[in-house]
Amino acid sequence: MHHLKRALAALLCLAVILCAGCSAPRPQDTEGTSELQYIFVHGLSGWGRYDKIYRVAPYWGTRNGDLMKYLGAEGYRCHAASVDPIGSAWDRACELYAQLTGSVVDYGAEHSARCSHERFGADYTNDPLIPDWNAGGKIVLLGHSFGGATIRLFAEILANGSAAEQAATDAADLSPFFQGGQGDRLHALVTLAAPTNGTTAYDLWDDPSFDPERVKVPKSEMLMGKLFSGGSGGDRDGRIEDDYAAYDMHIDNALALNATIETRPDVYYFAVPCSASYPGRNGTQVPKTTWMEGMFRKTSRYMGAYSGITAGGVVIDDSWKENDGLVNTISSYAPIGAPAQAYDPNNIQPGVWNEMPVFQGDLMSIIGGMTIKKDVRPYYLNLLQMIDALPQT
């Protein structure tokens, strides 16, 4: 597990290296003409508009320039949130709510006491993502990688609140977020290369039957893996182990989280899987080196060779081997057991996960790539045009 956290932390280090010496003003949210507000939520070790690095290295668009500005110029109101790079889906959802509404982050009385951290966090009162949140209007959530779990849990709490927080908190002291009743604000939800059903990149290290020495990894990829494994993945602050993204990313835990999140009948759902591997020898999957960042290839080979059974009894068979470097392609489709269908532009209905065609590229390609540049602007423009045209429920 620690191997993957260090690799993810390296993404931030790489962005700093690519943009060393640069300076730029703080990015502003776009003011398009669309009635919808599009909220983009980054993945692990990611960053958004509240983080200084976004000024010179936008997470969304990376080497192609700020995707928020591009989409804004096309008429779409877009916002790049900044949530805890290594925090749990719960903590990140709470931070997202405070940023959207312009309030103080409230992690909940019950949650903060159980997870051993402060109840309140940063204050966004004077700098909200959506200044007119209380005026109503629909939003669209887009989450990359672990941002997918973040936005799905956010949507659940926004609609249905939290029974645990309601029971533990005086009504006068309860955050509106935990009261629920705001589900009608959500128009659509999009997951992008998200480990919706967990990832074997975490689970394989907990399986004593997995022997990494039996997986052939070229020396150059081993070296690249070592070069990008120096970070700690973030400083621990006393929270319990369950309150970090690393916990939520395990397959059994991801499925347990899924069981708490409903697929709402009035929301449009889209899942975009990525793939940057292909069939190798002996039933394995190996990385397409021209598509996959070097830092991901070692983990990709391990994932492409792994099969087993989780502690909770989930069978990890050959269908899990295809991957984007950090996430199993199969995991990036709809939550297991949720209503789903293959994407058909002529049959898009709310309350059903529309599983989009596989995006050809690694985990970072869907946001523009890091060292392997990918122009994703046309992809997102088409995606937002499609969502914007859907009837509002």
Residue 87, helix vs strand vs coil: strand
Q: How big is the chain, counted in residues?
A: 393
DSSP characters over 354-365: EEPPPEES-TTG
Residue 307 near residue 317 (C-beta atoms within 8 A): yes
Over the stretch 180-236, which tens digit does the pLDDT of each residue have? Answer: 999 999 999 999 999 999 999 999 999 999 999 999 999 999 888 776 554 434 455
pLDDT in tens, 14-70: 444 444 334 444 455 556 667 999 999 999 999 999 999 998 899 999 888 999 999
Residue 387 contacts by C-beta under 8 Å, 6 or more apart in sequence? Answer: 36, 140, 187, 188, 190, 268, 270
- The contacts of residue 76 (CB under 8 Å, 6+ apart) are 30, 32, 34, 36, 38, 384, 388
Q: How far apart are the first and last CA of the chain?
A: 42
Which amino acid would we find at residue 194? Answer: A
Average pLDDT, the chain: 91
Q: Which pair of structure tokens corresponds to residue 336? A: 């297991």
pTM recorded for the entire structure: 0.92
The predicted structure's pLDDT at residue 28 = 54
Domain range annotation of the chain: 2-16+32-388
More confidently predicted of 29 and 274: 274
Split at pLDDT 50, 70, 90, the class of 238 is confident
Give tens-digit pLDDT for 115-165: 999 999 999 999 999 999 999 999 999 999 999 999 999 999 999 999 999
Q: Is 171 helix (H, G, I), strand (E, B) or coil?
A: helix
> Any idea which residue has 């959506």 for tokens?
130
At residue 18, the pLDDT reads 44
User: What pLDDT was estimated at residue 303?
Assistant: 98
Q: What distance lies between CA 128 and its chain's CA centroid?
A: 21
The domain covering 2-16+32-388 belongs, at the CATH homologous superfamily level, to Alpha/Beta hydrolase fold, catalytic domain (3.40.50.1820)
Structure tokens at 116: 């051993």
Q: Is the pLDDT of residue 170 over 90?
A: yes
